[in-house]
């Protein structure tokens, strides 16, 4: 198929098409002449390219700087946007750009002719919103719906308590303080107040999860409760956004005749109904959607089509007067239980890494730092942050008392739910672009996000430093003990890696959707319906984590893979043995030139006529010791470990009593060789099952090229001569050994 012949470059074409569509739609809306439009399009496309380049550089530098300070990288991207935005360095005049690289943008609204000022151009903001849709799609894919259902009671209490407390406190704080900051009349259904409430509900537990992981508390009662509560919190936060958009629309329509609570209730019920119906349909049809996508081609095609579905659903939700991000989250949540979810996330990572930093940078650009530093607005931001922190701690902490937690545990759960993150910023961006939020209120929201994300980790560390359980006596842990992993240990890392690759193929043949989560960390996963098998390869060990009923499947597959591996290895030995010991023709190398090659690397001082070792490990150690005494091996222990590891991977015993152990190692700077004789032979598991009497050890540098194959082909060719082999085997001194291998060369 043509689809399968195209690689991951398809993502670049998809991105280019989306960017072009966004830009062209924005440009086409301008009532300009054809010539003027062409000039404007060329100029704005040039500006877009330059801006994206600068933003990507700034985002990456900010991300790296904050991660080195052990702070979330997204905060670095956000701060980078503040620095390079039109309220800071972005408006500085530079040669060729009198208005700066990031000038403010003015656009007339359709119809009335009112001119509004925007921080970024429509095309750049369109890319930003596209990134928000992709981000929420991936958030939905990462949602652990199984955890949501399994711990729905405690998680629902914690999530619901946190959302209600945060929304109510944020909304009421807006009613109380907004007239002081932005003069006007505000009620609980005013757009700014509603968004202040909704923005404070969203929880980002990525930072909390990192702290819990470092403290080994992810499987503690508090850890599981926080993770389960965060899942419900995200779901409820999306619902609150849907309700809020409906409430704002109804309140605006009925502003002239007062608050119509009946209409607001209907809109809220309608918003919940649309969200709930779409989610139920999506979850119930997820398996069929997954099957359909898997039938369309390879992994690239599946990921692209899944993203396409997410964009379509997002557009339909916007058409239904709900936010696009709600639709993308619903699509991600629907696919989260399918066996393609991890693969889609993995293949969309390049798009995520490219676009999502742009989103955070744009969010930072919208912050007017000078305005935010005004005393009234700064005080409002600090109060809003304090109320948001207190609301989460109280709203999420109090319900835990109903589930057996004590005060210590309730505090830990409450602090763990404090950080806000990307969802809060997306909601704030939607409010600003729709005209529901002023620049002052948007800056307050960004300040709250920054402060809660930065203060929560140290608070959580302090909360867990206090010794003691978080549960009251008599209450068990809310989670069941995980089944012990099934662990297999193999001779070396190479064998384990080969077996994992074979196992992934075997699982695929059995109907599992098997894929790598992280090749660098050795993490793999196989899914089939509700069966999830996690595989970790660490060094020479392979560990499986799976439900108890899946253990027989794992053990049978491992037996099958190992048997097949042994059969393959046995078949490989046959042609290798014949090829290694085939007599080389004189047209390839003359006998003298072969001996000259050996003479370049052999020395009489590195030959042992009577080896003392009785095992191949002991013989290898003895030969390395000779080379070390000559000063050629910097770290004999490391060289020995490398040689033994290579020997264990596949024995180097050949036919006719010859063995050629070898290794690449950092302990040598050039190819070196030692030769030893053992009259009674040593078991090197030779191809003809005979003991090896002539052992040629070769060490090569690991980081540079060395002519090992040239040397070994010359050695095998010389030793294939029966007369030379007999002379070498009967040698009694190192000099006789050297002369047997280099006969005629030393006389010149």
Window from 104-108, 421-425, 507-511 with minimum mean pLDDT:
104-108
pLDDT tens for residues 256-280? 445 556 666 676 677 677 777 887 8
Q: Distance between terminal CA atoms of the chain?
A: 65
CB neighbours of residue 591 within 10 Å? 16
Question: Each residue of 408-417: pLDDT tens digit?
Answer: 888 888 888 8
3-state secondary structure of 25: helix
Q: Nearest-CA neighbor of 380 among 309, 332, 438? A: 438
Torsion of CA 185, 188, 194, 197, to 10 degrees: 120
Q: Return the pLDDT at 205.
A: 60
Chain segment 206-261, per-residue pLDDT in tens: 566 666 656 667 557 777 777 667 666 766 776 777 777 666 666 555 544 455 56
**Digit-coded pLDDT (tens) for 51-72:** 889 889 998 998 888 878 877 7
Which of 173-182, 246-255, 416-425, 710-719 ranks highest by mean pLDDT?
173-182
Q: 563 or 699: whose pLDDT is higher?
A: 699
* CA–CA gap between residue 286 and residue 279 (Å, rounded): 10
- CA–CA separation, 122 and 115 (whole Å): 14
| Tens-place pLDDT, residues 500-527 | 888 877 776 666 666 666 666 677 777 6
| Tokens representing residue 254 in the block | 């009925």
- Strand ranges (E), 607-741: 607-608, 658-659, 662-665, 672-682, 692-701
Catalytic residue among 342, 515, 662, 720: 662
Q: What is the mean pLDDT of residues 725-733?
A: 84
pLDDT tens per residue across span 308-333: 998 998 888 878 767 787 788 888 88
Is pLDDT above 50 for 28? no
Structural contact between residues 471 and 405, judged by C-beta atoms closer than 8 angstroms = yes
Q: In whole angstroms, what is the distance from residue 212 CA to residue 457 CA?
A: 10
Checking if the pLDDT of 494 tops 70, the result is: yes
Concatenating the DSSP letter of every residue in 684-700 gives: ---TTSPPEEEEEEEEE
State yes or no: pLDDT of 349 exceeds 50.
yes
Q: Whole-angstrom Cα distance, residue 661 to residue 674?
A: 10
Domain locations along the chain? 2-465, 486-572, 591-741
Note whether 616 and 683 are within 8 A (CB). Answer: yes
Q: Checking DSSP bridges between strand 692-701 and strand 607-608, what pairing results, if any? A: unpaired
CB 63 within 8 A of CB 77: yes
Integer Cα distance of 305 and 296 in angstroms: 9
SS3 117: strand
The predicted structure's pLDDT at residue 6: 40
Under 8 Å between Cβ of 417 and 172: no
Q: How far apart are CA 228 and CA 155, in angstroms?
A: 5
User: Is the CA virtual torsion 334, 337, 340, 344 positive or negative?
Assistant: positive
User: What pLDDT was estimated at residue 92?
Assistant: 76
CA distance 582 to 580: 6
Other residues' Cβ atoms within 10 Å of the Cβ of residue 621? 18
> Is residue 478 classed exposed, middle or buried when 0-12, 13-18 and 19+ CB atoms within 10 A define those classes?
buried
Of the CA atoms within 13 Å of residue 636, those in its CB half-sphere come to 13
Q: What is the pLDDT of residues 606-653, one digit of tens each?
A: 888 888 888 888 999 999 999 999 889 989 898 998 888 888 766 778
- Find residue 533's DSSP bridge partners: 526
Instruction: Return the number of other C-beta atoms located less than 10 Å from residue 581's C-beta.
Output: 16
Read off the pLDDT band of 680 (50, 70, 90): confident
Tokens of 444: 């307050």
Q: Which CATH architecture has domain 591-741?
A: 3-Layer(aba) Sandwich (3.40)
pLDDT digits (tens, 9 = 90+) for 386-403: 998 899 888 888 888 887
Q: What is the pLDDT of residue 201?
A: 83
Token couple for 451: 């402060």
Cα(101)–Cα(91) distance, integer angstroms: 7
Predicted confidence (pLDDT) at residue 735 exceeds the cutoff of 80: yes
| Residue 312: predicted pLDDT | 92
Backbone CA torsion sign across 178, 183, 187, 193: negative
* CATH classification (class only), 2-465: mainly alpha
User: In this predicted structure, which of 108-117, 593-602, 622-631 has the lowest mean pLDDT?
Assistant: 108-117
Grade residue 706 by pLDDT with cuts at 50, 70 and 90.
low
What mean pLDDT value characterizes the chain? 75
Provide, rounded to the nearest whole percent, the portion of the chain with pLDDT above 90: 2
Name the CATH topology of 486-572.
Answer: TATA-Binding Protein (3.30.310)
CA atoms within 13 A on the CB side of 299: 18
User: What residue has token string 């409906």?
Assistant: 246
Q: Which residues of 237-252 are buried (b: 16+ CB within 10 A; e: fewer)?
A: bbbbbbbbbbbbbbbe
347 is catalytic: no
Closest CA to 283 of 339, 337, 237: 337
């Amino acid at each position: 198929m043509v689809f399968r012949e195209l690689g991951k470059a398809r993502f670049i074409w998809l991105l280019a098409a989306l960017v072009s569509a966004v830009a062209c739609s924005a440009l086409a809306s301008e009532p300009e002449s054809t010539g003027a439009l062409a000039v404007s399009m060329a100029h704005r496309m040039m500006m877009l390219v330059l801006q994206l380049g600068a933003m990507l550089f700034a985002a990456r530098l900010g991300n790296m700087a904050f991660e080195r300070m052990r702070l979330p990288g997204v905060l670095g991207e956000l701060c980078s946007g503040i620095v390079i935005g039109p309220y800071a360095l972005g408006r500085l005049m530079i040669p060729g750009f009198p208005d700066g690289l990031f000038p403010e943008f003015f656009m007339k609204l359709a119809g009335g002719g009112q001119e509004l000022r925007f921080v970024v151009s429509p095309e750049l903001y369109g890319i930003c919103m596209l990134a928000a849709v992709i981000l929420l799609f991936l958030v939905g894919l990462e949602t652990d719906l199984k955890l949501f259902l399994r711990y729905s009671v405690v998680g629902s209490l914690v999530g619901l308590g946190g959302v209600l407390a945060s929304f109510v406190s944020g909304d009421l704080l807006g009613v109380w303080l907004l007239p002081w900051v932005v003069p006007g009349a505000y009620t609980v259904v005013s757009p700014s107040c509603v968004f202040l409430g909704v923005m404070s509900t969203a929880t980002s537990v990525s930072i909390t999860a990192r702290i819990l992981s470092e403290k080994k508390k992810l499987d503690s009662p508090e850890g599981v409760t926080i993770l389960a509560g965060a899942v419900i919190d995200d779901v409820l936060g999306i619902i609150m956004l849907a309700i809020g958009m409906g409430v704002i629309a109804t309140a605006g329509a009925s502003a002239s005749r007062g608050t119509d609570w009946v209409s607001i209730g209907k809109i809220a019920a309608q918003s919940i109904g649309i969200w709930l119906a779409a989610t139920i349909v999506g979850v119930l049809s997820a398996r069929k959607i997954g099957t359909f996508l898997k039938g369309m081609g390879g992994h690239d095609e599946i990921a692209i089509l899944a993203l396409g579905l997410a964009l379509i659903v997002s557009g339909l939700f916007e058409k239904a007067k709900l936010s696009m991000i709600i639709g993308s989250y619903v699509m991600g949540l629907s696919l989260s239980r399918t066996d393609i979810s991890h693969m889609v996330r993995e293949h969309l990572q390049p798009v995520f890494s490219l676009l999502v930093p742009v989103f955070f940078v744009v969010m930072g650009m919208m912050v007017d730092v000078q305005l935010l530093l005004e005393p009234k607005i700064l005080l409002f931001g600090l109060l809003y942050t304090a109320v948001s922190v207190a609301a989460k701690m109280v709203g999420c902490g109090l319900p835990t008392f109903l589930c057996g937690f004590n005060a210590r545990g309730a505090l830990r759960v409450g602090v763990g739910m404090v950080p806000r993150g990307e969802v809060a910023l997306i909601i704030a961006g939607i409010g600003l672009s729709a005209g529901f939020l002023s620049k002052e209120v948007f800056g307050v929201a960004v300040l709250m996000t920054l402060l809660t994300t930065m203060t929560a980790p140290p608070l959580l560390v302090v909360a867990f430093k206090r010794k003691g359980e978080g549960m009251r006596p008599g209450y068990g842990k809310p989670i069941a003990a995980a089944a012990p992993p099934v662990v297999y240990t193999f001779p070396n890392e190479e064998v384990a890696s080969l077996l994992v690759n074979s196992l992934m193929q075997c699982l695929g043949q059995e109907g599992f959707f098997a894929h790598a989560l992280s090749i660098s960390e050795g993490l793999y996963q196989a899914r089939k319906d509700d069966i999830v098998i996690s595989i970790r390869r660490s060094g020479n060990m392979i560990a499986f984590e799976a439900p108890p009923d899946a253990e027989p499947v794992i053990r049978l597959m491992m037996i099958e893979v190992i048997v097949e591996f042994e059969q393959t290895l046995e078949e490989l030995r046959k042609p290798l043995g014949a090829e290694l010991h085939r007599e080389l023709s004189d047209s390839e190398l003359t006998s003298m030139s072969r001996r000259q090659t050996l003479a370049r690397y052999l020395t009489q001082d590195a030959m042992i006529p009577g080896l003392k070792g009785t095992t191949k490990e002991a013989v290898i150690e003895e030969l390395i010791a000779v080379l070390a005494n000559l000063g050629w091996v910097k770290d004999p222990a490391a060289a020995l470990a490398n040689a033994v590891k290579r020997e264990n991977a596949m024995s180097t015993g050949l036919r006719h009593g010859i063995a050629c152990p070898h290794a690449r190692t950092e302990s040598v700077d050039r190819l070196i060789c030692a030769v030893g004789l053992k009259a009674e032979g040593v078991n090197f598991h030779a191809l003809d099952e005979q003991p090896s009497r002539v052992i040629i050890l070769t060490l090569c540098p690991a980081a540079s090229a060395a002519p090992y194959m040239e040397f070994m082909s010359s050695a095998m060719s010389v030793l294939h001569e029966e007369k030379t082999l007999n002379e070498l085997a009967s040698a009694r001194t190192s000099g006789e050994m050297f002369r047997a291998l280099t006969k005629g060369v030393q006389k010149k």
